[in-house]
């Protein structure tokens, strides 16, 4: 065999080993994530039910509050129905924007602890730092 062919074979085997290692690491991370999800399933379902109930009740309270605010704006400031509705709509738009911005910030980087530990170990192993 020529030296060129031996070099390509070694490079190919190295690539296959790295690919197999990466596949194994990803399988490990998926297994850990599935185990964590199974442990948390009951808690998450219960939390989802209570969050849905709370969201429904909060929606009804918000609608009632807006009706009261609409009547108060109309009576107190002498606004027409259209003007009072526009004022409430503007307040709602500002509050919705703030809530969406805060929610978007809270969603950044939700990593589970075991997954982060596994990624750290894998990165250290691949870069040669133990």
Comparing 107 with 102, the larger pLDDT belongs to 102
Give the global pTM: 0.47
Judged by DSSP in three states, 52 sits in: helix
Question: Residue with structure tokens 């194994």?
Answer: 24
* Residue 49 to residues 20, 46, 52, 109, Cα–Cα distance (Å): 42, 5, 5, 25
The per-residue pLDDT for range 22-81, each reduced to its tens digit, is: 888 888 888 888 888 777 777 778 888 999 999 999 999 999 999 999 999 999 999 999
Domain ranges of the chain: 3-127
Question: What does the chain come to in residues?
Answer: 130
DSSP 107: T
């Amino acid at each position: 065999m020529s030296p060129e062919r031996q070099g390509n074979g070694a490079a190919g085997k190295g690539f296959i080993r790295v690919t197999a290692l990466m596949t194994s690491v990803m399988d490990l991370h998926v297994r850990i994530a599935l185990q964590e999800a199974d442990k948390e399933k009951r808690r998450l379902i219960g939390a989802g039910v209570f969050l849905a109930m709370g969201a429904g009740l909060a929606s009804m309270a918000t609608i009632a509050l807006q009706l009261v605010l609409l009547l108060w704006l109309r009576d107190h400031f002498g606004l027409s129905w259209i003007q009072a509705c526009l004022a409430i709509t503007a307040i709602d738009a500002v509050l919705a924007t703030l809530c969406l911005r805060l929610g978007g910030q809270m969603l950044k980087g939700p990593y589970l602890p075991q997954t982060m530990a596994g990624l750290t170990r894998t990165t250290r192993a691949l870069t040669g730092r133990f």
